[in-house]
Each structure stands twice: as structure tokens, then as C-alpha cells.
Structure 1
Amino acid sequence: METQEKFLSFNLGVTDTAVISLRHIAEVLQVSLPEICGVPQMPSSVLGIYNWRGEMLWLVDLEAMLGYPPISPGSNLVSKMMAIILENKGKYLGLLVRQIIDIEWLDAKEMKATNTELFYPKISPFLEGYFINDSEEIIFNLDATTIIQSSAWGIHN
């Protein structure tokens, strides 16, 4: 049985790497922060709404959501960010990340089960598991469906 799957890898924070399965990714695009309309009364990780293909797309600061320091819109470094558009059953959500690394093949059989002691409490609910790469580094495998269905924005989409 074929257990290889394609994943999009990207940076989380300064040192970490995460992946999301390509089957949940509708598109990856560059977003400039001034084009995002902020929405009051939302969690700080929700940056606001973005016009995507004529639709209103919620954009989330993935790092802030997972317990990393938030993207600070003031810094020029991040005036342009990459948005990973997730799709699940007709619902879309944009995750803003600093940098996309690559598309890679990973073997689902090599994925390790999450251990809540290992990870920040904020990241654990969104993990499908993790991989260990050749350099012995942990690569978080984020669960796109759980992220899209998160109660933080579920009421809004």
C-alpha cells in the first residue's frame, strides 16, 4: 500500500518546521498585510478578512494561534506574508506563515503519535502527529481539518 504523501513544509517561529498535507491546501499565495481588514472582537490570532477570488477569507496568524510570538504588523519584514489556504468540505481558512520551505514526500507510516508532554499545550490539539527528519529535528504535522473547525473562528464561517 502506498503510504507516501505530499506535504507543504513551512517555518514556525524561528527554529521549528511544520507540514500540512497537500490534500487540504487549495492555494498558496502572497498576502500583503495592509490588504487585510481587521475585525474587532476576534481572538488576537485572527488577523481579519481578506478578499480572495471575490470571497471573504478569514486569515489567521498560525504562529500566534499555536503559542508562538505573534506576527507584529509594524515590522517591515512581514509586510508580505505567505498565506496557505486550507479547504475542508467547502470551508476555507487562510493561515499566514513567514516562509514556505518546500513540497515534500513523507511516509505516513513514519509519523509518530503526539505526546502532550513534548509540545506546547497550545499546539497539541492541532497536531496530527510529527516526523523526525534526517537531521533529527521534529517536524510538526498540523491537522488542517482541526484547524479549520477550531471553535476560535467556527462561529464566524
Structure 2
Amino acid sequence: MTNVASPPETQNFLSFSVNSQVAGLLPSLQLVEVLSVTTESIVPISGTAEAVMGVCNWRGEVLWLIDVGATLQAGRLCDHNLLLPQYNVIIAKSPQGPVGLVVETVGQMCWVDPNDVAPAPPLGQTPTASLPPLPYLQGYWQSPEQSEIFAILDLERLLQAL
């Protein structure tokens, strides 16, 4: 009998970008839906964190919208795209309920080997010029095909930071 090592378990992620230099991944287990939200349907809420764009109606419920560009210190999407009539929103499951992650573009599904994920460095150490060290990242993954670096979001820690 021969011992054959089983292939590493891969995890599925949805890729997205917040600008031309910053990309991220969200675990597919947290993915609910991807949709477009018109600018007029977003209601700003005063007194909230800068990263909170506001709320909108989603299936008859109030959905909080988080500007992922602001959370990744890549600039607020609403500041960069003042003329856009709508935003791309990734609806994600969280312990607090569904939340909308506003991104510039929604990419494709990626299979990632956990062994290829670099842990998030301690605060103060930057993995790349375009991706700052943040306390709510699981780590970083470099795409072998595109040589692009993706920040892997830890949604629960991100929401706690807001």
C-alpha cells in the first residue's frame, strides 16, 4: 500500500477591486448576492464611520453599505466616482446580519490553496505599497497567473472596527 498525499484543500473566494491598484477576496461561504445599487437609493447616515456609505432597501430590509475602498485605505469610492449612477455591491453574511460591501468592480471566483496565503503582517509592516497592513485582513494571496496581490477580508473583524 502506498501513502499518497491528498491534494491540498482549496477555498473558493470572490475577487473584487476597489481601484486599479487594490484588489481583495471575500470567502464564498460569506457570499449571498452581487447587485448594483443606484446612487439615489443610498441614504447617508450621519454620525457613522467614514467607511459607512449609508443604507439601502434590500428585499424589504435595511442593508448597511460599507465602502471597501475606505476600509482598505485606498480612498472612498464615492469620492472617486462622483458621476457613477450606481455602485457594485457584494452582499455578505455576517454574525450581525447581511451587509453590503461596495466595490469598484466584482471579479471572478478564485480557488485558493490556504498554504499559499501569506498571513497579514503586524501593523507597521506593509506587504506592498498598494496594500496597507490592517487589523481586519486574514492575509494576502498572490495570483499565480496574474501576479496580482489580493487582500483577503476578515469580515467579522472589519465590522467590529467600524
TM-score bucket of the superposed structures, by smaller chain: 0.7 to 0.9
- Alpha-carbon displacement from aligned partner over 1:51-70 (angstroms, at most 9, x marks no partner): 00100011011101221111
Letter in 2 for 1:113: P
Tell which deviates more after alignment, 60-69 or 119-128: 119-128
1:49 corresponds, among 55, 70, 92, to 55
Aligned-pair CA distance for 1:151: 4.0
Identity of aligned residues (%): 25
Structure 2 CA distance for aligned equivalents of residues 15 and 118 of structure 1: 15
Higher CA-based Rg: 2
How many residue pairs were aligned? 150
Question: Following superposition, which runs of at least 4 residues in structure 1 exceed 3 angstroms of deviation?
Answer: 119-123
2:73 corresponds, among 67, 71, 77, to 67
Question: What TM-score do you get using the length of structure 1 for normalisation?
Answer: 0.85
Structure 1: give runs of 5+ residues left out of the alignment: 153-157
1:128 corresponds, among 132, 138, 153, to 138
Structure 2 CA distance for aligned equivalents of residues 31 and 108 of structure 1: 33
Structure 2 CA distance for aligned equivalents of residues 121 and 110 of structure 1: 17
Distance 1:90 1:38, change over 3 A: closer
Q: Secondary structure at the match of 1:48?
A: strand
Structure 2: give runs of 5+ residues left out of the alignment: 1-5
The alignment yields a C-alpha RMSD, in angstroms, of: 2.1
Structure 2 CA distance for aligned equivalents of residues 126 and 142 of structure 1: 6
Q: Secondary structure at the match of 1:72?
A: helix
Letter in 1 for 2:110: E
Aligned-pair CA distance for 1:29: 0.9
- Contact 2:120 2:133 survives alignment (8 Å): no
Distance 1:27 1:101, change over 3 A: same
